[in-house]
Structure 1
Amino acid sequence: MMNFSRLSRTTLSLVLACFSATAAAESRIDRQTETAVPRAQNLYGIGIGVLPKTSGSDEYRALVLPIINANYGDRFFVNALQAGAWLVDSDDQRLRFGLSAEAKFGWDASKGDRTRGMQDRDFSIFVGPLLRWQTDYGTLNAQWTTDASGNSNGQQFQLQFIKSLIRSPQLRLNGLIGATWNSQKFNDYYFGVRSNEVTANRPFYRADAGVEWQAGLNGVTPGFRDHSLLFGAFVTRLSQTQNDSPITQTRMQPMAYIGYSVPF
């Protein structure tokens, strides 16, 4: 006759062993480099971002933006202007594959010296697959997206490497480097000049595909009680075809932000 007491103990032991193995695997996720902004817990707040007024502009605009950097059930995530879900994981969850959607700001043509009289470039949503691979040296992200809003009908492919530079209770700081390939339609939408936008000082221009490069720093430091101060700055070096556009004023495009968040 089957010994149900022994069977129950064996089943319980197996369940506990599986739980322990899962917990150990999950503990290998590096939360600091999980996103470009260092994070040990979910963060919600508000911030101010400074970015070029138009494509290639040497003048800047300030935007007030909500700050959300959070996981939900360790399956869904929101990271600033990006949101998505992980669909497939390795056993230790250091290799993950999912889908994401990311916002891309357009611009008001009347705000730029070289774009005045052109049509505005609209706010867009780009969607596509995302791969994250965490190693002992840092986190590598690979992402392909396409313009789901249909404004540019363009595509992007981005590689990004995130490295933890400082880990302490007083400051967490990440460095990042990356490269983004933009399709011809993407570049032509944001950097091209259409025939009905031509002026004496702004010739017709059709942009080709190209690769731009990024580097930057993102940090978090404690604020009042459990609140946090977030900050970051990075620069993008435009591709040659973007830089050759008659609306481009400078090839180096800096961006920065600062924000205040609370845990949840």
Structure 2
Amino acid sequence: MVLFSARAQAESGIDRETETAVPRARNLYGIGLGVLPKTSGADEYRALVLPIINANYGDRFYINALQAGVWLLDSEDKRLRVGLAAEARFGWDAKDGRRTRGMEDRDFSIFVGPNVRWQTELGTFNAQWTADASGHSNGQQVQLQYIKSLIRSPELRLNGLLGVTWNNQKFNDYYFGVAASEASATRPQYRADSGVELQMGVNGVVPVMQTHSFLFGAFVTRLSHAQYDSPITETRLQPLAYVGYSIPF
């Protein structure tokens, strides 16, 4: 059995293509456009312009889209790594949703906690536990994720992703609950319990002019029973998509 060490001496066995959900042969920096539901469970969408950063620094610190972290312990070949991550969670403006008008806004939050990445011949497995460090929801999440390289070619690199996320009661109640002060004749008070979401999707990279890249992705999340039963939820399947362009830096 390989012992952990903070400084691995052997040559790294990291598969850069499945190290993150987005295939990556080198660091990526650019700008993108994301489309996501306007509010929790909505069937209407909003577009956000976001910077794209998918990079490692000293093979220890990293930024991956809305997540940043540091690896603290490694196996010798670095195929098994344990670290600490911080991840952004978008809130929403209540006025933007048909069923949320008159409610309080849900604030942008940062979730922080330990994570583990294990790369195998079958693909990459990720596990992380995070808690709301912003104090808005005081919620917690536990996420398991599997990343598999589907296409590796000079013209296209494509990864598939499967995920399972458990959200505790405070998390679900913040984003899907309806407080007594927010209830109305058409929107009853609702206390959301804990539950499990399912996710699946693809991420792709198309090289352009040797050093530039066109990025794209599409995902769908199946809400848990507790989330779907909320009076503010309009559809159980929640899509998310993005396109972006990266340049060398």
Question: Shorter chain as normaliser: what TM range?
Answer: over 0.9
List aligned pairs for 1:194-209, cutoff 5 A.
194-209=179-194
- Which of 214, 218, 221 aligns to 2:199? It is 214
- Which of 203, 223, 229 aligns to 2:214? It is 229
Whole-angstrom distance in 1 between the partners of 2:31 and 2:130 = 26
Taking structure 1 as the reference length, the TM-score comes to 0.90
List aligned pairs for 1:44-55, cutoff 5 A.
44-55=29-40
Q: For each residue in 1:68-108, what CA deviation from the matched residue of structure 2 results, as whole angstroms up to 9, or x when unmatched? A: 00000000000000000000000000000000000000000
Q: For each residue in 1:175-201, what CA deviation from the matched residue of structure 2 results, as whole angstroms up to 9, or x when unmatched? A: 000000000000000000000001100
Please say if 1:33 is aligned against 2:21: no
Q: Aligned residues: percent identity?
A: 75
Q: Which moved more, 1:223-232 or 1:165-174?
A: 223-232
Which residue does 2:100 correspond to in 1?
A: 115
Structure 2, gaps ≥5 residues long: 1-8
Whole-angstrom distance in 2 between the partners of 1:38 and 1:186 = 30
- Which of 218, 233, 237 aligns to 1:252? It is 237
Which residue does 2:6 correspond to in 1?
A: none
What is the identity, as a one-letter code, of the residue corresponding to 2:10?
T
Which residue does 1:85 correspond to in 2?
A: 70
Whole-angstrom distance in 2 between the partners of 1:224 and 1:144 = 39
Please say if 1:59 is aligned against 2:47: no
What is the identity, as a one-letter code, of the residue corresponding to 1:139?
T
Which runs of structure 1 show a deviation greater than 4 angstroms over 4 or more consecutive aligned residues?
none
Identify, as 1 or 2, the structure richer in helix.
1
Whole-angstrom distance in 2 between the partners of 1:74 and 1:135 = 19
Whole-angstrom distance in 2 between the partners of 1:126 and 1:263 = 30
Whole-angstrom distance in 2 between the partners of 1:135 and 1:127 = 26
Number of aligned pairs? 241
Q: Give secondary structure in 2 for the equivalent of 1:132.
A: strand
Q: For each residue in 1:40-62, what CA deviation from the matched residue of structure 2 results, as whole angstroms up to 9, or x when unmatched? A: 00000000000000000000000
List aligned pairs for 1:81-160, cutoff 5 A.
81-160=66-145
Whole-angstrom distance in 2 between the partners of 1:90 and 1:227 = 33
Please say if 1:189 is aligned against 2:177: no
Q: For each residue in 1:148-188, what CA deviation from the matched residue of structure 2 results, as whole angstroms up to 9, or x when unmatched? A: 00000000000000000000111000000000000000000
Whole-angstrom distance in 1 between the partners of 2:215 and 2:195 = 32
Q: Give secondary structure in 2 for the equivalent of 1:173.
A: strand
Whole-angstrom distance in 1 between the partners of 2:228 and 2:70 = 35
Structure 1, gaps ≥5 residues long: 1-20
Q: Which has the larger radius of gyration?
A: 1
What's the CA shift for 1:222?
Answer: 1.1
List aligned pairs for 1:3-42, cutoff 5 A.
22-23=10-11, 26=12, 28-42=13-27
Taking structure 2 as the reference length, the TM-score comes to 0.96
Whole-angstrom distance in 2 between the partners of 1:97 and 1:48 = 31
Task: Give the root-mean-square deviation of aligned CA atoms.
Answer: 0.7
Which residue does 2:4 correspond to in 1?
A: none
What is the identity, as a one-letter code, of the residue corresponding to 1:175?
G
